[in-house]
Amino acid sequence: MSRLGKCIISSFRLSPLLPYWSNGRQFRPTRAKKPNIGGNSQAKSPTFSLRISKAFVARSAVAVFALGFLDAGYSGDWSRIGVITKETEELLKIAAYLITPFCLFLIISITDGDKAP
């Protein structure tokens, strides 16, 4: 008989909890967690909560905005693939001289609301 007749996964299994035989070996189902034998012990599962301040999100958004100006003006990729024209790229280079220092000022001036002076 070919190897196709000795399939580990059988569609005729009655229950996933019953052991079954394949290739002369007995396979038993395994579990990732031990069953709760103690009864009503209500252990809280650990939850992952990531708390990010609004000030951090605002600083990040301003930094991405400034980096977008620098990328569009100085990389040359956007005009090469036809998204913007060469004239627009030159305009973005000039605007980056004004936008980037302003964004740096905003990043520095945004304060956390929960800090006391």
* pLDDT above 90 coverage of the chain, percent: 25
Q: What does the pLDDT read at residue 58?
A: 93
At residue 51, the pLDDT reads 84
Domain span including residue 58: 54-109
Asked whether residue 63 is assigned to any structural domain, the reply reads: yes
What is the predicted pLDDT for the residue at 1?
47
Instruction: Report the pLDDT value the prediction gives residue 100, as an integer from 0 to 100.
Output: 92
36, part of any domain: no
What is the full per-residue pLDDT of the chain (117 aa) written as tens digits? Answer: 444 455 555 555 555 555 555 666 666 666 666 666 665 555 566 677 788 889 999 999 999 999 988 888 888 888 888 888 989 989 989 998 999 999 999 999 988 875 544
On whether the CB atoms of residues 92 and 73 are closer than 8 A, the answer is: yes
Tell whether 29 is covered by a domain.
Answer: no
- For the question of whether the overall pTM of this predicted structure is more than 0.75, the answer is no
* Of 64, 65, 68, 69, residue with least CA distance to 90: 69
Query: At 91, which helix (H) or strand (E)?
Result: helix 86-109
- Total number of domains constituting the chain: 1
